[in-house]
Amino acid sequence: MRCEEKCNPNAGGGLCEPGYQCAPDGLCVQACSGAPASVGEVCENSMDCSPCSVCLSSGAALRCRQPCRLDRDCPGGAVGACEQAGDTKACRLSL
């Protein structure tokens, strides 16, 4: 069991402490750069992912993904590396 306080990802991440961002599932997660350790792992929500990643739908399952705005925000920075994932953008998984 854990206490959770929801944030609104559409309101600029209000409620999250400095250094944190609001994940698409409404949980505050650490805002940082670099590839998170849990990318590609199955998750139930963003608290299951390592810092710097969020839990997003990927095909039939929820998986930890690295948020991005541009292709260059993703490892390798290749064209198309940052893709739309629901209401947000995340680095393409190479599974």
pLDDT-derived band at 44 (thresholds 50, 70, 90) equals very high
Q: Is residue 12 over pLDDT 70?
A: no
pTM tops 0.75, yes or no = no
CB neighbour list of residue 73: distance below 8 Å, 6 or more residues apart: 33, 66, 67, 82, 91
CA distance 22 to 54: 9
CA distance 35 to 37: 7
Mean pLDDT of 17-37: 78
Strands 88-91 and 82-85, sheet pairing: antiparallel
